[in-house]
A and B are shown apart, each in its own frame.
Chain A
Amino acid sequence: MSNEGQPQFQRFKAICVPILGNAKLTPSTIPTVSSLLSQLIQALRGLDSATFTTSFISYVFFPLSSILQRNLSAEIPDQVLEKVLVALGLLCENWWWTCEAKIWEQIFMLCGAVVGGLESKGKERARDEETKEAAIRCLLALLHERTPQDALERLFPEDRARERTQELENFSRSQRFIPIIGQTIDSVLGTAVSTRLPLQRSSLDLLSLLLDKYAPQDLVPTVLPGVASVMTKACLGIGSSKSWTNGEIVACSVESAADRHLEDLEDLAQFATTDLTEPTPPLSNAYGTARTPSWLRGTTSQLHIAINALNPLVRHPTPSALYALVDFSSQIIASTSLTLPQTQPLLLSFLLSLSHSEYPKNLAALAHFISSQSDAKVQHVAEMVIAAIGKLLGPGGGIEKWGWSLLSVLEFIEPPVTVTTTSAEQLMLESTQDISWVPFPDLSLKTVSSREAGQALDEMLRALGGAAGDSALYSIEWFTSGVGKVSLTSEVVLNDVTVRRSKRAEKQSRALARTISELWDKSDLEDLAADAPPRPDGHEDLEINVQHQKGLVPLHETLKIIRSNPTKQIRLINQPVLHRGLCLQLIAIAAGILQSRFDSLFIFSLYPILHSIVSPSPFLSSSGLAALNYVTIATSYASPANLLLSNFDYALDAVSRRLTRRWLDIDATKVLVILVRLVGPEVVAKAGDVVEECFDRLDAFHGYGVIVDGLIEVLTEVLNVIEMDVKANPEAAPHREEDTPLPSVRLKDLNSLFEWLPNRNATPQPEADKAGLWTRSSSQVKYPQLQVKSWRLKSFHGRFTSSLTNHQSSARASSAYWLWQSPVLPESALLPSIHSAWPFILNRFSDHETFVVGAVANLIEVLVTDVGSFMYRRIWDDVWPRFQTILTQLEAGDRGNALARRGRSAVGTESAYTHSHRLYRSIIKTMTGVMKGVHPYEPSFWECLVLFRRFLGEQLHDELKTCARQFYTAAGEKNPDAVWLVLKATTENIGGPVSFMHDDRWKIEADAQEVLLHLNKL
């Protein structure tokens, strides 16, 4: 006893001596002993392991043993015995290292007897459960393994733990001890089905320990059946009031129930492991059962039944139980490939159905199991699994369950993942656009939360596919169809199938791609039907696929299963999105399988792909893009643009189909836009068709705002592309046959006339003319090519004009915009249509929407600058009077406008965002264009100059002022004198007949000065 141990020793002495004194229990001493034992237990618990020296343990043990020795077991009340056992357990925790085998055995036997209720022979009364639990704990302390660390803590050599374990195990395997162990196992089995959870739990622990370590090899077979059946009972809670189903009601019991399952399953698993991995060597022993084949058969069938009985566990509410089941199943499958063939499918189905719970670990376990399998016993196990799969998938049955549970797994897991995928995919989308075109983006993250698990699953399916071969095409079919919802897997299947290129696979995938593409039709219809139930995701596709499996007997069952599945109701909104995304992948896969033979399917599949690209969901749009990419590669097109261009007719056909009342799809116009955009400049050649289609639809859907807007968007896109095209090839652009900008033939005075007359041939003008001729002829050379493009454009030009009268104002504005763009047309095509459209254009000036008027004014501006001579009459006869009217109206309107500038010379409004401001701006700009491009018609020219003076006023909005300055400058280039006269006469009274013009209302001096200065420079 060390010095420091001294006070401790004193303390324990104070407890132990009275116990010893009262070792002979009488009714009067029992309370005393009981309280003393409690004190002892408390004291022992407070000690650290180093103080448990051998002498100390012996010292404490002595009173305890004397209690047991001096009393008949029947005389020891449960309460006391329990405390004694607890104390013993605490002691044994440390005594294990040092005690003699004899004592170890004695304690073992004592505890075993207590558990089994054997020590009180003759008495019917068994010990209560608390006592049994204490005994079991004591046994656990005796038996459980110690680590080298524990040895070091107690200042023993490191390998002491192992040595000691060995020693005790050897001891326990002696012939004499085996019955004891058997008896104990039997007893513990009895307590394992107890309703007291701590007891049950510790019994299970002990059982596991006993079977694992101490039970000799030949004993195991003997006890296995009993253990298995008890375990099954325990699992299912047969005969216990607190079965797992109601066990969960008690909050604390949930955890323990789970643990319990965990434990017993482990037992079983270990059992199977230890037992069955070496089933053949027949051993005979006095107590053991020979491991004969017949025994094996019997056992396995029993096990099978037992495992089968575990079926309800699949629906266990606690995750830990499910984990345990998964571990169990995977372990069994992994280790018993030889012995439990008929159980394999069962277990597999456990796993698969388990994997539908939302805990990723399940999947991970499944995946882990599969991957370990393919690693370890590649050939053998693969065959095994294939056989199992075949059995599961065979027409015999089970497919539905299997497939469905797998599918439901993946569905359950999808939603949370989508969120994470989205951003990744978004990135992918961007990167694909930046860095040319990358191959099919890695989509394997879609269903599984952990990458490893996903990959493992991937591997599994790959292994399956590889092993299955042509004969198992059936299951491949299942994989493609069923698992198709799981993108990654299908890609795997793809790999296999492409290698083999079986014709059947080709056919299958062809049909698949087609039916899937048709889904888009269906869903569109359903979307339109307002009262249609929210479309559940993959079921359609499953249905269809099932229909493809010819000769499948339980077809209707399948359908029923799918339809009746209650999970339908809790589908999330994003499920259809996912579904479509996966369908897209299937399409891509089909393309991969068929490769160049996929061509014929473009007619069906292009629309889904494009439709997805324009989807607002990033997930879908990126998968759409990926699919497009993949298909492009698979069908060996150089780029998606090429692909689309080559199949433009199909795409257009599909879109126009979707624009009929029958298959109306609001997004079809968007598809068209994306189509145009993706194809790029090449679309020009096809533009005619697009535009024609658009106008047809505009007619058909007159008044349906959404569609009209969409179509307008398409047309705008087309024109943008055409414009880009024209800009990119300026030489191909139609060359305006400019009328010679004749010098102003106005006679300033006779001198100038005389000067001019002899020189008129010497002016550089003729050269310009020549150049003009030259370019003209060259442009005519270009004409034939151009005309191919433009004759179509011309044909729809007329339709633009007709849409000028569309009742939708945006359409009107857009048509003006289109016309504005149209100078890309050759003059010969443009002018007639402008001519015929002229009344409509003019009428737009009285449109009540400012932006329409503005657009038309823009159009006029472009026209006057491009085809000035053509516009001469039209401007001065038609447009200018209208402008005058508008100006008058605006002036009147401004007077009543709260936004108008106040003040003597105020014109226009403060803000640049008013109608009047915009109109002013349009008008001035148009007239500037007129000044530049059209011969002035003197009276109107003068009117114009006079009228626009006010826009130079200093209080005006800067923008208007700038426009006005430009106008005067442009006018000055035509007729500087008139401009000078107008401006001068306004700013200062220069007398003469123009003195009436003097008007200082607007204070235009500064700007007038600037204009005049500019004119002087010319």
Chain B
Amino acid sequence: SCSRAKDVTMPAKLPVNFFSTRSPVIDLFRGQLDYADHLRQDSEIALYFFYAPWCGQSVAVREEIERVANRLSDQVLFIAINCWWNQGKCRKQKHFFYFPVIHLYHQSFGPIEYKGPMSAVYIEKFVRRVMTPLLYISSRSKLLDFLSNYEPGVVGYFEFNASPQPPGYLTFFASALHSLKKDYVGAVRFGVVTDKRVAEEISLVRSGSVYLHRHINTSLIYPHDIMNYTAENVCKWALENRELLIRWLRPHGGKSLLLNNELKKGPALLVFIPYNPLAEIQPLLDEITRVALEYHSCNRSQAAEPELQHIGSSDSPASDSSDPDAHMKLAETFLITKYPCCNTVVLPQWHSISRTHNVCELCINQTLGVKPDKVNVPHCNFYEIETALDSFYLQEHTFFQVVSNSIECSNFLSFYSPFSYYTACCRTVERHFLSFISSEKTIFQTPKVAFSSHGKKDNADIQNSVPHIEDRNCFIPDLHISGTNITGLSCRTNKTLNLYLLDSNLFWIYAERLGASRSTHLKEFAAIVDLKEELHYVLDQNQSLTGSSLENFIKNFSVLYSPLQRHLVGGTSGHVPAERVVAEVTSSTFHGVVLSSEKNVVLLYYAQWCGFCASLNHIFIQLARLLPPDHFIVARIDITQNDLPWEFMTDRLPTILFFPRQRKDRSVKFPEDFPVSLPHLLKFILHHSSLSSPEPCTKECLHKETVLQQGHISHLEKEIQKLRLEIRALHQAHDALEAQLSEARREEHRLQQQKHTLEKQHKTLQLHSEQLQATYDQKNRELLEMAEKLQELADASENLLKENTLLRILVASREGKLQSKDESKEALQSEVQTGADDSSVLVSTALTTEENRIDHVDTVATEHSSENRTE
């Protein structure tokens, strides 16, 4: 049975329903792909959900599919197919590397694989796109709507009056479907116009022409003469030529270089917003895309009118044939008509500890005497304000000591142009006004350079020392943003940003990684990531994410002396208990604990995942328990969770730094060649804490010494306490040993007794053995005797036999003799014969008995010897 059980195997369990029977999804759990294809014939739109019953992702997506099916089952056929069951048709025909796989069919067109996020709203959106790949555009307003979307739009014009199916229409329809194969979120939208007048809006006159709308660059018409008019080509053309002002990033979860490739292109603005693909209106998204459009509008006027308004207001056809002169004209207008514009500038603080800020309203004027109009003052564009700032720096002496509550204004000439001049009206505001300014202190670096001249300024990273542009809404509420000055900024700055959108419903984890607070309910977040510089900036999270806050964020990034602070992602220190043996430092508590405390600090840089760090925990705990807490802090910082300013970063873990009291700038590193052990650490600390400068002994010093000695006493007391415990443990161990010893002694005694009895037993056994030996010998002797007797008997019987033979011979001779006298004495002769016979019988019987006896003795002997062996 043992070997049979080894060979026992069991085939896989039979497949069962994956979806409930009440589900609107038809569940072909035996993988009947042929039946699915049969069912599909009756339905215009079909969705295949290929799953494997053991696959976690299939299980997770099942709900999502069900949700979509519940909404669309009247228009779409939902079929789930178990494509794992190895007896099923599906497994035999398809070879998938992962599950689930979603295929869509629009009548005979397909399969279109869905590769987007596996969430119901996205899937539904995609299914709807497959249902209506082409949007019917019936009117001019609909056309404007269609084209105003930030996603590229392709419009085809087909006249249905002439024939029910105008030439090229089917190809266009197919290309719309085809684009969905490439582009799972349907970023390129396809529309169809049938009205001649509507088509003229975008200068389409011939039926069958296809138009790709672009916001920044000129729009295009499909070149029928260059490329063959096929579905693939139209789709390819649209994808290649579309504008990407702002891109959605949707990592698919598998291994991918998407972010690597995008972020390596240069600094990137990542905007996280909760996105519902099914929502009709997306106000926030519209606002963001407007900023993106502005940012990229390099050739347009400052007060750029969206092109569509332009279309809407004029009847002239725009688009690919649009007049290049128009742009020229606009550009000229931009140069000539300069009206005063103003921006709020926050002046650098004179002392970082100062609680006030100087805020100036800096205006650019063309003509003398024009004062900023408070009602409708446009923002200046980036260039202008930068030039103004340059001049402003030259006038620094006039301003840098402004501490005033009243508004003081002064005019000064432009540095570049003798025709324009600037007005600066400054006042001092309380610091708390500027809530957006991080409250982090920079103690270790005295903010000495606040107003050095432009160009000589190296310490650009000093906090708040650079004038920067702020959303004026913050402190001058009666001024409203009416214009924009980031128009075309992307072409004018050498710090061009790429703009990206991420759905925070799906990818909030990236925002968290960049420091989005976990507490916010609103999942909105923006960050500028510069992979090359290895830093990122974050839009202040107390500010709501709006178009204008984004604009300012971009502007502040683009200016020469960017006021943006590298964002330091810090771990949550909320749930950490305050009293720990080894203090846990975070980005936000670093200054307080390490740099500004009055104690010596031993700081361990670690990461939980690093094996070499975790195995040091016990040494650090011992160290912290040993060092007097009045003078020492033993702390550690998890550097995966907590960014620090560059000068405090380390590239290896673990790293141990010692910050001596009063000389925090003279931190020393525990030498790497030394094994980290308690004595080594103590020696290291001892060595470096002794470096602190000697002070002349005063009363205070004596007092200090008393305190110190008290510390020593308490340390010694602790040691004594420990020793007591140790002694107790030793006593216990001693007792335990004693107990074990006595137990052992008892055991020994018992064993000795046992030995005794065993020896006795042994003796009796030996005795017995001797007795047995004696009996054996005796028996042996008896046996010998018996043998002798037997020999004798044998001899005797031999004699008898001889005698018998003699007798026979005798008888024979007698017979011979008697034969002659036979006739007469016949009766007598027969008598003699019988007597001889009798005697021979007698002899043989005696022999047999003798043999039997020998046999018996043999058995006794063997028995005897075996007994001997057992002994």
Specify whether A and B are partners.
Answer: no
